[in-house]
């Protein structure tokens, strides 16, 4: 009987250590996959295609029609919203580097994208992205 009680206590203790880590991993599960859409640049009244791929904790962004892309560095993440710093690695002359991106979960198939220039408070570009995979 004492052995069973010891095993149960160990299982409960292990669950207390493992479950918070699993919960944190699931927190961003809504963002995993491939997302595509058309962005709108307010100051130039122009549009461009975009594709976000989220896999293994990496956030890869492509703007095919602008011929640029890079990575997002996660600043914050919860069950509905994520904030990133965008780092352009390809086509730096075509896209703004180090902007701030906020992504909001709308539903299981759509997310809202908002881009602000570094240090600016106002949004300069936006999009609705649709889950492809």
Count: domains in the chain: 1
Q: Cβ distance 37 to 52 under 8 Å?
A: no
In a domain, 23, yes or no: no
Its pTM stands at 0.79
CATH code for the domain of 113: 2.40.128.20
In this predicted structure, what is the pLDDT of residue 26? 67
Asked if residue 17 belongs to a domain, the reply is: no
pLDDT at 98 over 80: yes
Q: Is residue 20 part of a domain?
A: no
pLDDT value, residue 14: 38
Q: Decide if 14 is inside a domain.
A: no
Residue 100 lies in a domain: yes
Is 57 a member of any domain?
yes
Q: What is the pLDDT of residues 32-85, one digit of tens each?
A: 999 999 999 999 999 999 999 999 999 999 999 999 999 999 999 999 999 999
Q: What is the pLDDT of residue 5?
A: 43
The C-alpha atoms of residue 28 and residue 114 are separated, in whole angstroms, by: 18
Range of the domain at 123: 31-131
16 located within any domain: no
Residue 79 within a domain? yes
């Amino acid at each position: 009987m004492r052995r069973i009680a010891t095993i149960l206590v160990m299982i409960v203790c292990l669950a207390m250590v493992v479950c918070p880590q699993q919960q944190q991993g699931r927190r961003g599960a809504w963002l995993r996959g491939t997302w595509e859409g058309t962005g709108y640049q307010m100051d130039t009244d122009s549009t461009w295609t975009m594709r976000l791929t989220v896999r293994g904790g990496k956030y890869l962004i492509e703007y095919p029609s602008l011929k640029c892309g890079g990575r997002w560095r996660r600043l914050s993440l919860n069950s509905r919203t994520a904030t990133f710093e965008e780092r352009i690695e390809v086509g730096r002359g075509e896209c703004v580097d180090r902007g701030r991106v906020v992504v909001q979960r709308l539903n299981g198939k759509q997310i809202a994208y908002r881009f602000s220039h570094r240090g600016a408070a106002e949004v300069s570009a936006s999009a609705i992205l649709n889950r492809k995979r």
